[in-house]
Chain A
Amino acid sequence: GENVEQHPSTLSVQEGDSAVIKCTYSDSASNYFPWYKQELGKGPQLIIDIRSNVGEKKDQRIAVTLNKTAKHFSLHITETQPEDSAVYFCAASHNAGNMLTFGGGTRLMVKP
């Protein structure tokens, strides 16, 4: 089955700096890669996703890149703000069953 590794597990940045979170996956059949933000006591919220026919996608301060050959994808947050502090999860999926396999999560702390 699919295995998703996520790094780092914790990340502390100064407000205004950029943050990068990286994930690798094992199943070359995976073709959908979402990123979720989870605040304390709440459910995960989809913030951006990318499909395997695209190498990069951007939405304001958030961008995701995908390298299918190397089987890794990354989340980039620019101009970080304190409200970006949360746990971020990457995931991978392929068409069969629509199931998601999650990474272990990254706790991002943005210091004012």
Chain B
Amino acid sequence: GAVVSQHPSRVICKSGTSVKIECRSLDFQATTMFWYRQFPKQSLMLMATSNEGSKATYEQGVEKDKFLINHASLTLSTLTVTSAHPEDSSFYICSGGRGRNEQFFGPGTRLTVL
């Protein structure tokens, strides 16, 4: 149990376009979902925390207007990178919280902005 999926697994886009990444908890209800960003050979950096039906809480330094997060249901959260630029290229990973602090991660989305 505790499976999280992400779609797409990789995406290449042109500078200035927007990209949407979906995160789904397949076999549990995720009351909280987290979005992370990971650069090569580095640890995970928390971008934002979202609870179903409410606005996301962004970490310091993360632009909320650039990284739009929607958590419409207990099994789906989306991250939209708006007006993407090459510096937004990274590995984006979501996780679903199942309660008692447990987090289960998706397989990640590799974003490349040309």
Contact = CB atoms under 8 A, between A and B. Distances in A.
A41 B108 contact: yes
A43 interface: yes
B91 to A, nearest CB: 8
B105 A45 contact: yes
Contacts of A99: 34, 46, 49
A98 B97 contact: yes
Contacts of A61: none
Contact of A103 (B6, B43, B101, B108): B43
Contacts of A98: 32, 97, 99, 101, 103
Contact of B49 (A31, A42, A97, A102): A97
Interface of A: 31-32, 34, 36, 41-46, 49, 89, 93-95, 97-100, 102-105
